[in-house]
């Protein structure tokens, strides 16, 4: 896969998150940049399977094929769609278990749509679809092992919780609800029907608890990045600042209906990029 093709397919998440990813990764040296575009291209492809409207058995089979292809890659016989990954896997010691965890996370949406998971299940979901991506990424960035794992844990969860808060209405429209059951019950919401939950007047109370969790993870991630060399945390810091800004825009907008979409304006994105990539 060429770098340009990988970049074109790496719009993982919404257009806002895709642009933040692209900007953050473009500042990396070529080998790191190519590895990151491969990782996110992989994420996009398995995510597209999970989010497609095809029959559930077919989606499960397609995800299993990805598992088989990953196994073949690590056995030294990569299929065509993973052939270019072999060099990055060897160069950065990317772990098979993290690729498989991402597939497992995407699969959590397939047998049936996620609706009001308990906190433990939500945390597992965040670990698989976000922190596992982080564990691959920090190896590419060159962070020390322990701090890399810790950064992936906290920043992955911070980004995913921000995604959940940003996409509440979009997710409900396809029958999904990632808000945790404990938070719903604490706010007095007993329904787990996505459309009923997002119209409930108590929804802002539910979202406040997730905002607090996301902020705590952002702060822990900042602590890890502060004690590491600037050159190895430039890309994750840019991602963190983009998403933290989105979270605060969501808070400023509020979570009561109606909820107009929130997006970080171009000048704000450029300012973050200039500050943390160039200065």
pLDDT at 15 over 50: no
pLDDT at 4 over 60: no
Q: Which structure tokens are listed for 183?
A: 């938070």
CATH number at residue 264: 1.10.600.10
Could you give the number of structural domains in the chain?
A: 1
Q: Which of 7-11, 26-30, 98-102 has the highest mean pLDDT?
A: 98-102
Would 111 be classed as within a structural domain?
yes
Q: Residue 90: what pLDDT?
A: 97
- CA torsion sign for 47, 136, 99, 105 is negative
DSSP 127: I
Would 2 be classed as within a structural domain?
no
Q: Residue 21: what pLDDT?
A: 67
Region 145-164: what's the mean pLDDT? 98
Would 184 be classed as within a structural domain?
yes
Beta partners for residue 106, in sequence order = none
Integer Cα distance of 245 and 34 in angstroms? 27
Would 21 be classed as within a structural domain?
yes
Q: Which structure tokens are listed for 138?
A: 């920090």
Q: Residue 270: what pLDDT?
A: 84
pTM of the complete model: 0.90
Would 200 be classed as within a structural domain?
yes
Where in the sequence is the domain holding 45, given as residue range(s)? Answer: 13-278
Q: Choose between 20 and 259: higher pLDDT.
A: 259
Would 4 be classed as within a structural domain?
no
Side-chain-facing half-sphere of 244: CA atoms under 13 Å:
17
Task: Compute the residue count for the chain.
Answer: 279
Would 8 be classed as within a structural domain?
no
How far, in whole angstroms, is CA 265 from its chain's centroid? Answer: 20
| Each residue's pLDDT tens digit, 59-112 | 999 999 999 999 999 999 999 999 999 999 999 999 999 999 999 999 999 999
Q: Which residue has the tokens 């000048």?
A: 267
Would 213 be classed as within a structural domain?
yes
pLDDT at 154 over 60: yes
Question: What percent of the chain clears pLDDT 90, i.e. is strictly above it?
Answer: 83
| Each residue's pLDDT tens digit, 195-227 | 999 999 999 999 999 999 999 999 999 999 999
Q: Choose between 105 and 274: higher pLDDT.
A: 105
Question: What percent of the chain clears pLDDT 70, i.e. is strictly above it?
Answer: 92
Region 146-156: what's the mean pLDDT? 98
């Amino acid at each position: 896969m060429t770098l340009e093709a990988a970049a074109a397919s790496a719009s993982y998440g919404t257009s806002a998150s895709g642009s933040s990813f692209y900007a953050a990764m473009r500042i990396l040296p070529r080998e790191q940049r190519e590895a990151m575009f491969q990782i996110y291209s992989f994420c996009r492809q398995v995510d597209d399977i999970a989010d497609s409207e095809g029959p559930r058995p077919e989606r499960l089979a397609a995800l299993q094929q990805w598992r088989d292809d990953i196994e073949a890659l690590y056995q030294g016989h990569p299929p065509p769609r993973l052939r270019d990954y072999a060099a990055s896997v060897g160069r950065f010691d990317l772990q098979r278990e993290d690729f498989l965890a991402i597939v497992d996370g995407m699969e959590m949406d397939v047998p049936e749509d996620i609706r009001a998971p308990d906190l433990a299940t939500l945390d597992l979901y965040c670990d698989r679809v976000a922190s596992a991506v982080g564990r691959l990424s920090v190896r590419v960035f060159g962070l020390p092992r322990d701090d890399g794992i810790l950064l992936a844990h906290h920043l992955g969860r911070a980004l995913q919780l921000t995604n959940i808060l940003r996409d509440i209405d979009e997710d409900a429209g396809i029958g999904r609800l990632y808000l945790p059951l404990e938070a719903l019950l604490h706010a007095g919401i007993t329904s787990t029907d996505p459309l009923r939950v997002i119209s409930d007047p108590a929804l802002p109370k539910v979202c406040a608890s997730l905002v607090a969790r996301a902020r705590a993870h952002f702060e822990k991630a900042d602590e890890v990045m502060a004690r590491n060399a600037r050159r190895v945390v430039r890309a994750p810091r840019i991602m963190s600042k983009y998403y933290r800004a989105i979270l605060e825009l969501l808070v400023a907008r509020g979570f009561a209906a109606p909820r107009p979409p929130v997006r970080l304006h171009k000048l704000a994105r450029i300012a973050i990029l200039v500050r943390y990539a160039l200065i």
